[in-house]
Structure 1
């Protein structure tokens, strides 16, 4: 009996330690290289490096459908290639042959998906131009909706750290605020997509969290609440209406009250759900073509009154190549905008110059200007 248990334990350990048991996908690829000065060994090493690159490119294509049609695919690919160490492993050469002066290798290898996501996700997010995101979370604790939503900030923080641009719901007018509250409660995909477009957002993230006590225990006169939390998070792409989501079931926490335990559980569940979705959202935004239209350019303009502000925003929206204009703030005559342009920051600077503004500074992602009186 002991022998059987020991054998079973060894099998489990072998599975855990096996490279194939890790989160990897097996890819077949080919590489080739010229044989220079009869040095077949050097050609073989060069062919192996190309095989690795081809395997990575296949894995990227399998992970993100249509990414090869993305506008900045070459930039994304080069970033992945430059950080390829540890992404490809367990190469098995299945065939080697020579035609003329070219050595060919055919082989199978394992591409580590988690490691690939760690490189590919940030590269895609950056190439998309920091997609604009708005977050809505509906929480219910013990049958009641709390005044403050604990998990919303967790989701915003995770996506902001990943490179997304978080939009401020505080700038909504009364009508839009009512629509946002209705969408928060209903969770309807169509309403969420429409709200995202109202925000001029690329994605709306909608969370639904429910927490309730399942046990109580007195310890040294203090009641400790055991709380069970269920959290769902989905992303709705504004342009396509595509929805993708993740569920974090049965997070169990303890607290001095039901609300205390619930807040802990909701934050933990929101963190886990966000990490599961943060790269998947970027991959979905590639849309199989050029992805999110435009690249975000931060624009600041000094010396404006409100009338001039509205005129400038209208000018930008009506200009060729401008996909969207989002007002971040307007204080003491200083306007700050995020402008999505199907071009470069210099294209935005040209528009501002033609509108009679003096352009003071220009970088790849920012334009600074002031009104000339």
Structure 2
């Protein structure tokens, strides 16, 4: 009887704990937004301030549902995916106060925020954050500086800036000296389409930023020569590739000058300031391209290269392809690639992770041989057939 009472009590406690953890369907949140009054257009200012208040309400609710480290380290991603669509989470709202202070309109609202769709979208963001945090990035740029007397010097100003910024953002940076495969970058700014096979061979990285950067050290005007004025102009042309498919995800190009950055002390410091300023925008563009690619792969599948060692002949390659297609859950498509000296490659379209894919394969056998997974990355799986 005593044991029965303890069991009932344990169930009650578990039910209470579960109820406490469950999110209510609606969360009521008060928030205030502000907007400047431009050209005496108070109606527009009220609308903008109200929208800002609703966004603030959604941010507060999402902040409770998300861990602080996720919000802080991935603020831009959360903002792009969640906060810019804040109106979609608000079921209803009341305006509690409108007031004007010093040319600024302030609106306070009480909003009812629906948690079901918000939580679903937040979970999707968390999944992207996890994938981004394990992404391996290779930055391979051909950089040069050209002095006013036409002396060309190889530099790595933007490469270093990008690597440092991406690393702070949680990416794993691959040293080009240790990258598998070989990628050559032309010094010309127009060659940005490396062979697809070359990209796919760089399997130590998941993504590659490659391209050219040219910085010109301009002669200072006479009026500034005594003031240590060191202006720099130039241009960059970059491309972002996914190594699993060789797909180009983004193409970025622009010209730049010293406007808005410190141009004193030396040309090198001016170049560094430009790289730091432009680098942040480049990082955001690259990140967006990768996030969009990952989002699509979550729905449509992700390209994975499967290498199999131990196949006797071409007929065995075709039979193993059928094994992959028929027995592995999440495999949407598989195509035969190269076959030489008992080793075959397959290009697979996979919905899910390579870890789950490898776990499923490890349970299979082929003609009495154990399917042994001997290598795995985010977009490659290596298999050896052994008795």
TM-score, normalization by structure 1: 0.46
Which of structures 1 and 2 has the bigger CA Rg?
2
- Structure of higher RCO (CA pairs closer than 8 Å, 6+ residues apart): 1
